[in-house]
Amino acid sequence: MQEHNEALLQLKLLTKAAQTLSQEGYTTKTFNQMSAALHFIEEEVSVHNHKEEEALFPVLERYVDGPTRIMRDDHKKLRKGFQQLSTAIADVRKNRDSFSAIKRLRIVAKGVVQMFVNHIHKENYILFPLVQKLLNKDELREVAKKML
C-alpha cells in the first residue's frame, strides 16, 4: 500500500502537468514533469504489478481466483494505457505546438489516471483486506519474501 501512495502522488503530478500543458501550452518544465511521471509508471509500477502477479496472486488463488483475475485484467489494461501515454508524450515532444497532440495527451493522461486510481482503490479496499482475511501468517511471510 505504501507503493500505492507514491503512485497516487505521481498520478496527481501527471494530472496537474496535463492540465497545465492543455491550458498554457508546452513548457519544458511541464513536459519534464509529465515525462518524470511516465518514467515512474514505466519503472516502478511495472515492477510492482509483476511482483503482485508472481508472488501475491498465486498464494491468494489457493482460496479464490475471481479478484486476482480482475486485477490481472486491470494490469493488462494499464500496460496498454501506459503505452498510449508514452506514445502521446512522444507525439507532443515531436510537435510541441500541435493543439491536437496536446489535447490527445491530456485525454490519454486523464484516462490512465482514472483507470489507475480505480485499480489502486480495488486493491486497497477489496484485494488487500481479502489477503489479510484469507492468508495465514506463514503465507503472508511467503508472499513478503517473494516481493522483496
The per-residue pLDDT for range 77-129, each reduced to its tens digit, is 999 999 999 999 999 999 998 999 999 999 999 999 999 999 999 999 999 99
pTM of this prediction?
0.89
pLDDT at residue 139 greater than cutoff 90:
yes
Long-range pairs, 135-141, Cβ under 8 A, ≥24: 135/59, 135/60, 135/63, 139/59, 139/62
Q: Can you give the CATH number for the domain in which 109 is found?
A: 1.20.120.520
Domain span holding position 134: 2-147
- The mean pLDDT value of the chain amounts to 93
Q: Flag whether pLDDT at 70 surpasses 90.
A: yes
pLDDT at 125 (0 to 100): 95
Domain count, the chain: 1
Cell of 113: 489516471
